[in-house]
Structure 1
Amino acid sequence: MKSLFTLKSHESKRLIAKGVSQLPELNQALKEGKIALAGGTTNGYIAEELTGQQLEKGFYTAGIITEGVQCTTSGHERLSPMLLNNGKVTQENLMDAVKGFTGNDVFIKGANALDPDYNAGVLLGSDVGGTMSIYPLLTARGCHLIIPVGREKLIPSVPEASESLGIDTIDKRIGMACGMLAITNGKVITEVEALELLFDVKATHVASGGIHGSEGACTFTIEGEEDQIEKAFNLIKELKKEPALAGERKECSQCGSPCDR
């Protein structure tokens, strides 16, 4: 049996969050270990799935692309990244806590770009790397690095994009200047992997884009036995009830210079 459907960006984020919650390394860390949920709107959905809390997910991030510019969320509204220790939310500072991570612990970070080789790209608005300054530590210790990212963010080449960027190399810009970190060793979870983690199906990304609120949407097919397609389709219908992501704001004072420069 085969099914065809389109997911808007916020629907995809919820699907990806549900898929990530099925990962064995994540569930092991929930029982005995630490999980760091770095800032990012998709991570806000994952935080909801893991804790049952309801968050203003548009504020669960620092850097965002919103209103057609690269920017930051308001510091007054921004939610702090979440850390779970043995499944319980702690008040420990995430960046401090990660310094004590071992190979059994999990660091989750979304991405701004994904290429066909599953290299992930993270835009860097901070000239010292921001949250991703911790990346060498994670790599050195062999921590589980999970990259939840929607396929709306597919680009031809993350290494090429990374080489093209760099805060100090940008002469004119609309929005913040950025660099990019290319991540080659993370476990990428897109809508395709999420569907295949949740159901015994083969998922295929077949189209992207749209109009009237479907900009950034992705279209998929899934194939499998009838009972699995029915289960998956029931979830897709539930995802269609997911409210659009709200709360993104930009605050021009955050980066210290006008958007158009």
Structure 2
Amino acid sequence: MKRALVTLTPPESKRLIAKAVVAMPEVQHALKHGFVYIATGTTAAYVAEEILGEKIEKEKWTVGVISKGRTCVTPKQTWPKHLVLYKGEPFDDPLEALKRMGPKDVFIKGANAIDINWNVAVFAAAPDGGTIGKTFGWTITKGVFTITPVSLEKFVPTPVEESAKLTGIYSFDWGTGLYSALVPIPHSHPVTEVEAYRILAGVEAIPIAAGGAGGAEGSVTLVLEGDDEAMEKAKEVTKAVKGEPYLEPYTEDCSICPFANICGLGSGAF
């Protein structure tokens, strides 16, 4: 048995997790025989890159975003469309895909929180529930295999089913950014750095520390354990993601933001 100490920055973690998601047998099967629906989001953009084999402007591949020290949205003129593939080829009707998807198909959606019980939740600020509001009914009732790629930088100690009760776009008197509801995704299969190392290298990853400074903010530090062959593979996997660059800040101009009335900054409440 060998052991290693590894620190990953948030973008390094996202790249690692994306590679693991694509390697999952459920995803590989769906790419060949069915639907893979990737809902927009910065972490999901890494997954899309790994599947498509091409670069995406990841900071623009989302609507909601936490950036510049606040909950926010990206500029409306660049709001992206979800990526839907059928048998590995682009499928242009997301609603039709949702109608046709079943347990052997895959839905991929990032998250804003993963709790002590490994339950995940995502922010929603649009009155209609945004992405999760429009897709949740289809995926949960038909048993679509739902994957949530989420780094442990988003770990929260409060169970998400409890913290969700405190939120809602009309629930706050003031705040430092966009008011949002936290929506649990109870049927999701989270993929963190722990699962990623298990999938890609067959080693155990034990989170032991978090945070950093000077370009390591949000990092997670893990102990990896495994036999000689698996640990060599883990080393190569780690080398492949080290140096992944941070995304550039990309947010809407508050003076023209369509969500200004539910934002502490946009409404002038803060």
Report TM bin, short chain.
over 0.9
Alpha-carbon distance, 1:249 to partner: 2.6
Give the 3 Å change call, closer, same or farther, for CA 251–94 of structure 1 in structure 2: farther
Q: How does 1:37-76 map to 2 (within 5 A)?
A: 37-76=38-77
- Write out per-residue CA displacement over residues 164-217 of structure 1, whole angstroms, 9 at most, x where no aligned residue: 111111111221111111122111100110000001211111110011121110
CA contact (8 A) 1:20 1:189 kept: yes
Structure 2 equivalent of residue 135 of structure 1: 136
Match of 1:99, as an amino acid? K
Identity over aligned pairs, percent:
36
Structure 2 equivalent of residue 119 of structure 1: 119
SS in 2 for 1:21: helix
Match of 2:67, as an amino acid? T
- Write out per-residue CA displacement over residues 194-251 of structure 1, whole angstroms, 9 at most, x where no aligned residue: 0000012111111100111211100011111122212211221221132222353333
SS in 1 for 2:208: strand
Work out whether 1:180 is the aligned partner of 2:212: no
Match of 2:172, as an amino acid? I
> How many residues are aligned here?
260
SS in 1 for 2:23: coil
Unaligned runs of 5+ in 2: none
Alpha-carbon distance, 1:96 to partner: 4.4
Match of 1:213, as an amino acid? G
Match of 1:60, as an amino acid? W
Give the 3 Å change call, closer, same or farther, for CA 129–96 of structure 1 in structure 2: farther
SS in 1 for 2:4: strand
RMSD between superposed Cα atoms in Å: 1.4
Match of 2:111, as an amino acid? A
What TM-score does the superposition give when structure 1 sets the normalisation length? Answer: 0.95
Q: How does 1:53-202 map to 2 (within 5 A)?
A: 53-90=54-91, 92-133=92-133, 134-156=135-157, 157-202=159-204
Alpha-carbon distance, 1:95 to partner: 4.0
Alpha-carbon distance, 1:76 to partner: 2.0
Structure 2 equivalent of residue 227 of structure 1: 229
1:251 to 239, 250, 253: 253
Q: Which runs of 4+ in 1 moved over 3 A?
A: 257-260
SS in 1 for 2:51: helix
Match of 1:146, as an amino acid? I
Q: Distance in 2 between matches of 1:13 and 1:126?
A: 25
